[in-house]
Structure 1
Amino acid sequence: DGAVDVLELYGAAKVPHRNRDGLARMFGRSASAVVLKEGNTGGGFGVRGELYPEDFLVCLAALRLRRPVKWIEDRREHLMAANHSREQHHHASAAFDAEGRILAVEDTFYLDQGAYVRTHGARVAEMTMAMVPGPYRVPTYRSICHFRLTNKTPAATYRAPGRFEGTVVRERLIDAVADRLGLDRVTVRRRNLIAAAEMPFDRKLRALGSEIVYDSGDYPRLLDKALAQIGWEALQTELRRRRAAGELVGCGIAIFVEKGGLGPMDGTRVTVDATGAVELVTGGSAVGQGFATAMAQICADTLGLDYRRVRVVSGQTDRIQYGIGAHASRASVMTGNATHAAALKVRAKALDVAASLLQASPDELDILDGVVVHRDLPGGGSISLAEIARHLAPDSPMLGERDPGLAAEGWFRTEHMTYPYGVQIGIIRIDAETGEATVERFLLAYDIGRSINPMLVEGQLVGGFVQGLGGALCEEFRYDEHGQPLSATLADYALPTAREVPAVEVLVTEDAPSPLNPLGIKSVGEGGINGVGAVIAAAIDDAIGLPGAVTRLPVTPQRLRTLINAAAQRKRSLLSTEKRGSQ
């Protein structure tokens, strides 16, 4: 806007304040002379947490031409140029005793970063190294990452970066230990789980500038609940019967630790106007996770009114000076607790004003449906928040020494992340002729600490599962031998559809609220995807009777046919050996 010398950028970035600051530095402008506004475009999943070259170039063009400039990216361009992820090659080993207890884990892996490093830097490598140990005691651990640049599209974060990959590695190792010792895979897991009495559990590792200290959790308890929910023993009996009848069916299990609530701080502003409407301005971002609904609920519950009276403003850098946006499953923990803090201040101010008007102590008052009432005197004097806001107008005789307005800012600071956790169990049926793997049943058990909105929690978990299903069975960006992309359309880049998605069972528990924030919240945004790859890999092994068969994801029908043939060849070899031995 040349009239006021403000550069405005409208787009889908989920870290608008960070991108604003970056663009301000690049163009030598003050932060107030650059405004970013995030559109309501839905999911982020890592890709939107970047400052892309086009973000800079469209601003440069607008400044040079002195007129609005719009840049449009088509699907082919997006698939080729937006962040890729997940390509890691691990060589992992474990030492264990005769009872299956882990003594040490070593993991050396190669991460294909693509042609250059983007704004996420080595974050995926760092998270992979930090989260491979997961929910288990690992007395000795070493991880080495070879961070490699290649001629591919640059890579960065994608939902549960480092955790999806690390869980596959860890759970494959646990299954290998069970197979080597002839032990039940659940038994091996149970023997190695960190106990509730050991919390908080210091991993002696760092990631994203924070010490890895598991804040709370009862992993064995959630495992027991998941096994009971799925009917584990009866399920194993049924699967053995079906395999004996010739079906290729199997079951996989994975236990994992997630992370969320990345700090260091977040702030919000809550204002009640003279009509009683509430505005909540945040530095967070909406990426399809129900952000506005959850923040409105926290604000409304704290103030004592209907959440539908709360208007949430996010993703606009000219409305609030500071913000980190939505990434690293931080919104519910960081923005939620900042909202709680701001609403508490507004509540206290409202009760203070009401106390002087109703001739009562603030401790004797409560707020119900936006009206301040006597806690122990039903039908007594009352006053609405709208009336209190009017009494706090700058020209009100009631204002006194108070600051005008029924409004407050709230801040929440933290030094450590929160660590929710989950158990996932899945049943796979395989068509031996086509190599198609069908998920018959899948359980997502997840401890969230405290749930703000159960429906949103379930939606996040199931949505994450579907993304994990794609990564486990079909999604793959391929190149030819000359480095040319082969997956530049949705005809070539296969996504799971409703046909491939089973009816997912969800078990959400609140057994371990976080002690690190007043609301006890952890996070849920990436929990649904974390263990899916590991579960499906284990279930395929179980179905074809070849332990350790799956070493690469996605397990496409072509690759699965190869594994089925290898399992059949192994079975024939064993039968041949047995016959020679009996002669």
Structure 2
Amino acid sequence: MSISSPQAEPLIGQRIKRSEDPRLLTGHGSYVDDIQLDNMLHLDILRSPYAHATIKAIDASAALTLPGVQAVYTGRELAAFLPPVPSGGGMEGFNAPEHHTLAIDRVRFVGEGVVAVLASDRYIARDARELIRVDYQPLAAVADPDKALQEDAPVLHDFIGNNVGYRMSLGNETDAALERSELLIRQRLVNQRVIPNAMETRGVVAQYRHWEQQLTVWLSTQAPHLMRREFSRFLDFPEHRLRVIAPDVGGAFGAKNNAYPEELLAAALALKLGCAVKWIEERQEHMLVTSHARAQTVDLTAGVDRDGRINALHFKLTADMGAYYHAITPVGPMMTAMLMTGAYRIPHAKADIVSVFTNTTPTDPYRGFGRAEAAYFIERTMDLIARELALDPVQLRRRNFIQPEQFPFATPSGHVHESGAYELCLQRALAKLDYAKMRREQQLLREQGRYLGIGIATHVWRAGFPSVPGGRGYVVGGWEKAIVSVDPGGKVRVVIGTSPHGQGIVTTTAQIVADTLGVPLTDIAVLHSDTDKVAQGNGTMGSRSLVVGGSAVLQAAQKVRDQALRLAAHMLRLEPARLTLVAGRFRCIDDPAINISFADVANRSFAGPVDLPPGMASCLEAAVIFEASNFVSCFGTHICVAEVEADTARVKLLRYIAVDDAGRLINPDIVEGQLHGGIVQGIGQALMEEAVYDEMAQPLSSSFLDYAIPRAIDLPLIEVEITETPSTVNPLGARGIGEAGTVGAPPAVVNAVVDALAPFGVKHLDMPLTPNKLWRAMQQGKS
């Protein structure tokens, strides 16, 4: 049988419009806040105005007298029947502080919950919150991780005795290689703290129906099945009676992959009181308490020879954890260290990691978690080396690239690049820009007093977490499940464990199944994001939905196709090898007039064993759990052309080129859309976004008045090109693409701006590259 594609024209690789969009674009989406239930109570949280303080007394008497208020809880009252919230700190050798749904006796960051109010509507709950009085004794606080490591720093968690979460080293020894290098490059690089901002803030509705002993949780989340496990453990409530539904989710970007205190508390109170409880996060709450991200600093030492060969790279990596661990907070710095050498053959590389607790919001994943930081550090390092050696940054990269014949390539830190084509992406990006011409134009403009810069970033990252031990007791469960079944009319139902929230997963899933079974896209329904309809899954994170989830879908659809082929051959009294499936019909290769429709075969499959081939079960259905053997290596080259205005120091992005490898391209529109969105977020980090704290650990960026994100007028036309170098670790050959923009954009933009300011002697500036920061650098250069 032919297995290339049973469609008259293959659907994989086509620009199929997203089936998810019309409902959302016409205002028919349904989000957590749209859920209204009878007798539902509303939860509100009184939060700490102090970064560090002891709680001396709480007086909620006035709140309790307000009509409509049903209950008020303190942290100590909740601790009598609730455990600490789940966190990612349970690894061997890690200091893992307990984090409760509400603070008990002591608060450790501004925004930490102190008192919970339940009322008949959200406005009464908010009014009651304002009536509660808390007597605090302020303590010294620390927001700077370097200061938090000092001996006299305020200690957040007394049982540790200092503020160190863990120390770890990854890689091999670098001292000898650094010593014999002809030149050492040293620089401190800061990947600043940022705030993931989705259009929809977090929200939860929890309802307990005692007559069914069923707890249902509607949650704005990326991973309903993971949340079911976490809620079950936290509540000591059986999973088979716990249903988690992710309705439409208005963006997540990694920040909704955690079981937060407020969400767990809503479920716990619904269970305790036997009712429905709703909590919807306000935007300022989101800025204060939903996970922040990045917050890593590297003191780098690179050992190079005069010809540009890089001998050794050492990172002293300091990672700000915030006040507590969230779901996988400790993993971020490890990811950075694993990918510290990027696309390059660096024989000696080592990262010494120290994770630090500070009186700030906990950090956790944000689009490109750990990998965006690694790409920024290594790509800035490459430009620093090129500048010091007076080499073209393109030449330096080419001199150190991992070569095609060297794959699979193991790095000193333990990551294995399974395959890659780094030179291809670089060459395509340079050609699209006309690099030599642009360098000539740059020189002419400089002579006219205009400051144009060209920034290059050849980024490497990894996607699709495999099911492998992560070290120190940490296990990554990277499997994903899919079920494909066919009804008697030949229509197909696909059940997936991934949870779409803007990625186009429903459309790409349908394309894979339609291409495999030869049925129209309109004959395919995709079910997801409800743990009662989708029994098992892991969710959407780490660019795994296609490379892991899509692979499970492909293999399940192939099994169904093989079942249908066997039955069609039985019905036509032919050998299966004589049949081909094209456009919904099984046809005899020798005599196309002998054929039968896929729908007729599906209908026959329900007839029972008497009408089926020997040993064949009734119904066309297959379930597959796919487990990747390794991370998928993802890569690309981004080039930014930026001008810094001489009079205002404002950055104008003139061109942005992204050439990324999709492995196997399923839907160009979706891939390009993913790249555009990620690049915009990366530009935001490079030029404007930063979560700032003062010396008392008070947040200065708690609203959009003082936390800027990109607008359409801030952006250039983004030029995208896709290459296809099939991955070796999944049957689709696909690579992750959803995080490529946030990985590649920050170093490309920063390299461009620093290059523009080279006439002023500027070698490095930390993000965000605000006009004020650039103006000061330009004035210093003039003087």
Q: TM-score, normalised by structure 1?
A: 0.94
Distance 1:45 1:150 in 2: 23
Distance 2:443 2:282 in 1: 49
- The answer for the alignment partner of 1:2 in structure 2 is 210
Residue 243, structure 1, aligned to residue 451, structure 2: no
The SS at the match of 1:69 is strand
Match for residue 430 of structure 2 among 227, 230, 251: 227
- The answer for the alignment partner of 1:496 in structure 2 is 710
| Matched AA of 2:604 | H
Give aligned pairs, total. Answer: 562
Match for residue 130 of structure 1 among 317, 334, 338: 338
| Structure 1 segment 533-572 matched on structure 2, within 5 A | 533-545=746-758, 546=760, 549-569=763-783
- What's the CA shift for 1:548? 5.2
Residue 404, structure 1, aligned to residue 618, structure 2: yes
- The answer for the alignment partner of 2:657 in structure 1 is 443
- The answer for the alignment partner of 2:295 in structure 1 is 87
Match for residue 517 of structure 2 among 300, 303, 307: 303
Distance 1:284 1:371 in 2: 30
148-157 or 169-178, which deviates more: 169-178
Match for residue 257 of structure 1 among 460, 471, 474: 460
- The answer for the alignment partner of 1:519 in structure 2 is 732
Residue 364, structure 1, aligned to residue 578, structure 2: yes
Gap runs ≥5 in structure 1: 207-211, 570-583
- The answer for the alignment partner of 2:418 in structure 1 is 215
| Matched AA of 1:415 | S
Q: Say if 2:329 and 2:365, in contact at 8 Å, map to a contact too.
A: no
- What's the CA shift for 1:30? 2.1
- What's the CA shift for 1:402? 2.7
| Matched AA of 2:771 | P
- What's the CA shift for 1:395? 5.2
- The answer for the alignment partner of 2:500 in structure 1 is 286
Match for residue 267 of structure 2 among 34, 55, 59: 59
Distance 2:609 2:373 in 1: 60
- What's the CA shift for 1:110? 1.4
Distance 1:550 1:556 in 2: 14
- The answer for the alignment partner of 2:644 in structure 1 is 430
Distance 1:40 1:317 in 2: 15
| Structure 1 segment 186-205 matched on structure 2, within 5 A | 186-205=394-413
| Matched AA of 2:225 | H
- The answer for the alignment partner of 1:580 in structure 2 is none
- What's the CA shift for 1:297? 0.8
- The answer for the alignment partner of 2:326 in structure 1 is 118
45-54 or 166-175, which deviates more: 166-175
- The answer for the alignment partner of 1:576 in structure 2 is none
The SS at the match of 1:538 is helix
| Matched AA of 2:449 | G
- The answer for the alignment partner of 1:505 in structure 2 is 719
The SS at the match of 2:307 is coil
Superposed CA deviations along residues 431-452 of structure 1, whole A, max 9, x for unmatched, are 2332211111010011121111
476-485 or 178-187, which deviates more: 476-485
Alignment identity in percent?
35
More helix by share: 1
Match for residue 140 of structure 1 among 344, 348, 351: 348
| Matched AA of 2:367 | R
- The answer for the alignment partner of 2:45 in structure 1 is none
Distance 1:263 1:321 in 2: 20
- The answer for the alignment partner of 1:78 in structure 2 is 286
Superposed CA deviations along residues 261-307 of structure 1, whole A, max 9, x for unmatched, are 21222111001112222110011110211111111111111111222
The SS at the match of 1:332 is helix
- What's the CA shift for 1:404? 2.1
Distance 1:307 1:547 in 2: 58
Superposed CA deviations along residues 118-165 of structure 1, whole A, max 9, x for unmatched, are 111311111111111000011111111221110110001111122222
Q: TM-score, normalised by structure 2?
A: 0.70
Q: Could you say if the C-alpha distance between residues 548 and 379 of structure 1 is closer, same or farther in structure 2, counting changes exceeding 3 Å?
A: farther
Distance 1:401 1:425 in 2: 58
| Structure 1 segment 366-381 matched on structure 2, within 5 A | 366-381=580-595
Distance 2:640 2:275 in 1: 55
Q: Say if 1:124 and 1:156, in contact at 8 Å, map to a contact too.
A: yes
Distance 1:217 1:549 in 2: 30
22-31 or 84-93, which deviates more: 22-31
Q: Say if 2:375 and 2:461, in contact at 8 Å, map to a contact too.
A: no
Distance 1:307 1:467 in 2: 32
- What's the CA shift for 1:20? 0.6
| Matched AA of 1:48 | K
Q: Say if 1:464 and 1:529, in contact at 8 Å, map to a contact too.
A: yes
Distance 1:205 1:498 in 2: 39
- The answer for the alignment partner of 2:487 in structure 1 is 273
The SS at the match of 2:271 is helix
Distance 1:365 1:70 in 2: 56
- The answer for the alignment partner of 1:578 in structure 2 is none
- What's the CA shift for 1:62? 0.8
Q: Say if 1:108 and 1:145, in contact at 8 Å, map to a contact too.
A: yes
| Matched AA of 1:225 | R
- The answer for the alignment partner of 1:174 in structure 2 is 382
| Matched AA of 1:472 | A
| Matched AA of 1:163 | R
- What's the CA shift for 1:555? 0.9
Gap runs ≥5 in structure 2: 1-208, 468-478
Distance 1:547 1:195 in 2: 34
Superposed CA deviations along residues 476-502 of structure 1, whole A, max 9, x for unmatched, are 112233222222222221010110111
Distance 2:745 2:331 in 1: 22
The SS at the match of 2:503 is coil
Distance 2:481 2:302 in 1: 44
The SS at the match of 1:104 is strand
Distance 1:482 1:48 in 2: 28
- What's the CA shift for 1:561? 1.1
| Matched AA of 2:376 | V
Superposed CA deviations along residues 392-451 of structure 1, whole A, max 9, x for unmatched, are 226574246432221111221223101011111111111233221111101001112111
- The answer for the alignment partner of 1:469 in structure 2 is 683
Match for residue 533 of structure 2 among 312, 319, 329: 319
Residue 28, structure 1, aligned to residue 236, structure 2: yes
Distance 2:588 2:260 in 1: 55
Distance 2:508 2:643 in 1: 38
- The answer for the alignment partner of 1:388 in structure 2 is 601
- What's the CA shift for 1:204? 4.1
Distance 2:245 2:645 in 1: 49
Distance 2:480 2:616 in 1: 26
- The answer for the alignment partner of 1:333 in structure 2 is 547
- What's the CA shift for 1:185? 1.4
Distance 1:433 1:222 in 2: 36
- The answer for the alignment partner of 2:170 in structure 1 is none
Distance 1:7 1:319 in 2: 15
Distance 2:658 2:704 in 1: 28
| Matched AA of 2:297 | H
- The answer for the alignment partner of 2:248 in structure 1 is 40
- The answer for the alignment partner of 2:4 in structure 1 is none
